[in-house]
Structure 1
Amino acid sequence: MSAVHNADPAELAKFGDAAHRWWDPESEFKPLHQINPLRLAWIDGLAPLKGQKVLDVGCGGGLLAEAMALHGAAEVLGIDLSTKALGVAELHAMDAEVANLRYREVAVETLAEEMPGHFDVVTCLEMLEHVPDPASVVRACARLVRPGGWVFFSTLHRNPKAFALAVVAAEYLLNMLPRGTHEYGRFIRPAELAGAAREAGLVPLQMAGLSYNPLTQRYAIGSDTDVNYLLACRRP
């Protein structure tokens, strides 16, 4: 699938329409605000970010990209195809005076043609379930990272438990997310993602789950990969 077509206009419009609320910790992006420190710590624990060249694929409004820049990365590039989300990300970075962070509206496949092997760390979190061809994104991420570099993915497991919690509970019962945020058929089983990573030339090294406790209203990273999960890979 070409880079031009590996995007869903409806998905871009959905997130673009909500872009002005991206940095509101009480908006529909509240879960991202809550899990951002956990994701950052997990990534940094495996691939220390200090002094590294980092790419954040599908950066949206810039929550993770900005956090990685402030955490000590030498340079961070966030890319997305949502013009509105990138505008919000750029404005927030400007207000926060984050000098080592920039953004581009470009498909990851296109960037892979321009800058192969340029980055020490590539992250692609909460994005694969929103594109028509996730394997194409995985291949592009593998091409963008230098030999020995790290690539991190996160997405949603495709199973009944994930449907019950990530769609029915989160979107319809608890109203944690707007209805229609996720399409269950696009969820990706861990074995499928690991297989796509291997086919792209990456070596999957570690997987972790991201779980939510509705009683404490807190997220935690652990071994339960039944709903949300993260996968860490390296390029040989």
Structure 2
Amino acid sequence: MKIARFSSSGSIHFGIVDGEDLVVLGGDPMFQGFDTTGERIPLAQATLLAPSIPRSKVVGVGKNYVDHVQEMGGDAPPTEPLLFLKPNTSVVGPGDTIVLPRQSQQVDFEGELAIVIGSIAKNVSADRAAEVIFGYTVANDVTARDLQRSDPQWTRAKGFDTFCPVGPFVETDFDVSDGTITTTVNGEVKQSGPLTDMVHGVAEIVAYASSVFTLLPGDIILTGTPAGVGQIVAGDVVDVSISGIGTLSNPVSGPRS
């Protein structure tokens, strides 16, 4: 089931994607279930928003694909998931603009699968991880690469406003073992590969992260990026597609005053 968060006629709703329509839900399905209002709105008449707004945090996993570790100059991926945080203020939705900050001269795209947490989770075992996952969406872990190299930790490089596009939908029945990810910039393929190339899988990531801090409903976990990351500049359009979920598309602009 694909879930959208969208605006229509000045109001924000959640809806189930049904062909070319959105079946409007009575509230946030994470908390109020999937009861519908009976109203249908054409997708073409809705403005899609970030499908999940983390009330708490975005958790990132670094160096989780061997080929990406190698392209960044490393020899081997970490033996445990390498965690970092992005503020929830970095989250934007499909079609929203990635704004390049004045502080950086090299901002890169990083297409990723994102886990959306659906219930409070602390010290969840890997074999029970599925119980706390609401679904999956597409993300772009935008990174100021020069700041990532210069700073002793990654908060500034990963945390600018607009540096975490997510969407267009949350898929509640997604099979990670059958998914592929593709990132294009201006229509040119930059990243492509199966999600099974992740070093640390979804269950392990959720278990590990929940052993460190409590995960809350709406929290997003970014699962890492495959090889092919590269710089984006003003005027570019970045598309991240995951089979079975959809395509997240975002234009890029220069710094704003």
TM range (shorter): under 0.3
Query: Whose helix proportion is higher, 1 or 2?
Result: 1
When you count strand as a share of all residues, which structure comes out higher?
Answer: 2
Greater relative contact order: 1 or 2 (C-alpha under 8 angstroms, separation 6 or more)? 2
- The TM-score normalised by the length of structure 2 is 0.23
Structure with bigger gyration radius: 2
TM-score (norm 1): 0.25
